[in-house]
């Protein structure tokens, strides 16, 4: 009897929790897109790089820069903290919405299936100059010189700085080994949120950032390289693959501290005028809860961790195919 009532309550939970999203957007791996679809994506990104900024964030000139600024301004409260995965999920959603709503993009945010390229990023299809994001950096400044974004001038970074510079890369096959299938599988196999989060933020996360190098290796200003969105959407897929293993539990489990360590490997030192996060951002204490607020600086309404835990819930509505 207890078993039956448990089953009934699970079914009721399922029907109410999953009802809002009936037609999820299809997020696809980059290598499965047609050439026309790839160009539609990179052209929409170029459009964001031309649209003027309007949020008043320091240094940002374009809409593309503004999304980078949201990451730069709160790098120390969104990495090595419990909200790392939900915050970056929200960022991917914001980027996808900007492409679709402001630049007439008709697809959904694609991801880089990095496990296919682990250990050999230099030959990745993502770095194609015609139907991709351009290749490795070149010369002393390691500026990218091919592809649609070769002429873009970042106005934010490196790190916390506000300076004009090229998009730079320093592709490393060695570092890209972190994005291996084995590493991805190990994270999806974890049994609780904190273990899965630490695992994903560890090697698969570092594999993509280190494998591309340059701007992408900078934990603060990395969204200055458009590859950032393809990388983090892959990480979001890994997070979802883990969540889908026990959806009712794993869309409601969160934890971890709100306070990042003082020194984070690969992060520029926090300048004195960037406040050290003190914890509560909608939480009762310094431990991340479902009520933790994801601050989007006016780009979109702020959401809580709870709002983004299910990618087919009341707020988000997409799937990975
Ligand atoms: Cu980040």
Predicted pLDDT at 2:
47
33-42, 70-79, 89-98, range with the lowest pLDDT = 70-79
Predicted pLDDT at 266:
64
Domain with residues 23-320, CATH architecture: Orthogonal Bundle (1.10)
Question: Does the pLDDT value for residue 39 go beyond 90?
Answer: yes
Domain residue limits, the chain: 23-320
Predicted pLDDT at 261:
75
Closest of 203, 206, 209, 210 to residue 187, by C-alpha: 203
Cα–ligand 1 centroid distance for 128 (angstroms): 24
Cα–ligand 1 centroid distance for 33 (angstroms): 25
Predicted pLDDT at 11:
47
Give the rounded percent of residues in the chain with a pLDDT score beyond 70: 90
Predicted pLDDT at 62:
98
Cα–ligand 1 centroid distance for 75 (angstroms): 7
Cα–ligand 1 centroid distance for 130 (angstroms): 27
Q: pLDDT per residue over 115-156, tens digit each?
A: 999 999 999 999 999 999 999 999 999 999 999 999 999 999
Cα–ligand 1 centroid distance for 42 (angstroms): 21
Residue 221 pLDDT class (50, 70, 90 cuts): very high
Cα–ligand 1 centroid distance for 208 (angstroms): 12
What does the alpha-carbon distance between residue 142 and residue 152 come to, in Å, rounded to a whole number? 14
Q: pLDDT per residue over 251-298, tens digit each?
A: 999 999 888 777 666 677 777 776 666 555 788 888 999 999 999 999
Residue 109 pLDDT class (50, 70, 90 cuts): very high
Cα–ligand 1 centroid distance for 289 (angstroms): 19
Mean pLDDT taken over the chain: 91
Cα–ligand 1 centroid distance for 102 (angstroms): 23
Q: pLDDT per residue over 153-186, tens digit each?
A: 999 999 999 999 999 999 999 999 999 999 999 9
Which residues lie below 8 Å from residue 82, measured CB to CB, with a gap of 6+?
Answer: 194, 197, 254, 255, 256, 257, 258, 287, 288, 292, 305
Predicted pLDDT at 129:
97
Question: Does the pLDDT value for residue 1 go beyond 50?
Answer: no
Cα–ligand 1 centroid distance for 94 (angstroms): 14
Q: Which residue has the higher pLDDT, 114 or 279?
A: 114
Per-residue pLDDT, averaged over 206-225, amounts to 96
1-10, 79-88, 203-212, range with the lowest pLDDT = 1-10
């Amino acid at each position: 009897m207890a078993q039956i009532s448990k089953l009934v309550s699970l079914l009721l939970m399922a029907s109410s929790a999953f009802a809002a999203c009936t037609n999820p957007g299809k997020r696809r791996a980059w290598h499965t897109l047609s050439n026309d679809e790839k160009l539609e994506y990179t052209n929409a990104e170029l459009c964001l790089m031309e649209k003027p900024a309007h949020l008043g964030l320091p240094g940002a000139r374009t809409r593309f820069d503004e999304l980078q600024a949201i990451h730069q301004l709160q790098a120390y409260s969104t990495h090595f903290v419990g909200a790392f995965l939900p915050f970056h999920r929200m960022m991917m959603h914001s980027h996808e919405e900007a492409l679709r709503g402001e630049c007439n993009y008709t697809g959904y945010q694609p991801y880089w299936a990095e496990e296919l390229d682990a250990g050999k990023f230099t030959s990745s299809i993502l770095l194609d100059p015609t139907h991709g994001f351009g290749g490795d950096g070149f010369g002393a400044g390691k500026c990218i010189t091919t592809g649609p974004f070769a002429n873009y001038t970042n106005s934010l970074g490196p790190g916390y700085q506000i300076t004009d510079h090229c998009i730079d890369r320093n592709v490393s096959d060695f570092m890209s080994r972190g994005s291996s299938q084995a590493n991805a599988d190990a994270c999806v196999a974890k049994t609780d949120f904190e273990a899965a989060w630490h695992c994903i933020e560890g090697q698969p996360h570092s594999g993509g950032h280190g494998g591309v190098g340059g701007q992408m290796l900078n934990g603060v200003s990395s969204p200055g390289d458009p590859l950032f969105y393809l990388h983090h959407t892959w990480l979001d897929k890994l997070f979802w693959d883990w969540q889908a293993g026990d959806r009712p539990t794993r869309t409601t489990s969160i934890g971890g501290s709100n306070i990042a360590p003082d020194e984070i490997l690969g992060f520029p030192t926090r300048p004195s005028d960037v406040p050290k996060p003190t914890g509560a951002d909608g939480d009762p204490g310094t431990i991340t809860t479902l009520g933790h607020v994801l601050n989007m600086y006016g780009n979109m309404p702020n959401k809580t961790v709870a709002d983004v835990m299910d990618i087919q819930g009341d707020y988000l509505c997409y799937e990975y195919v």
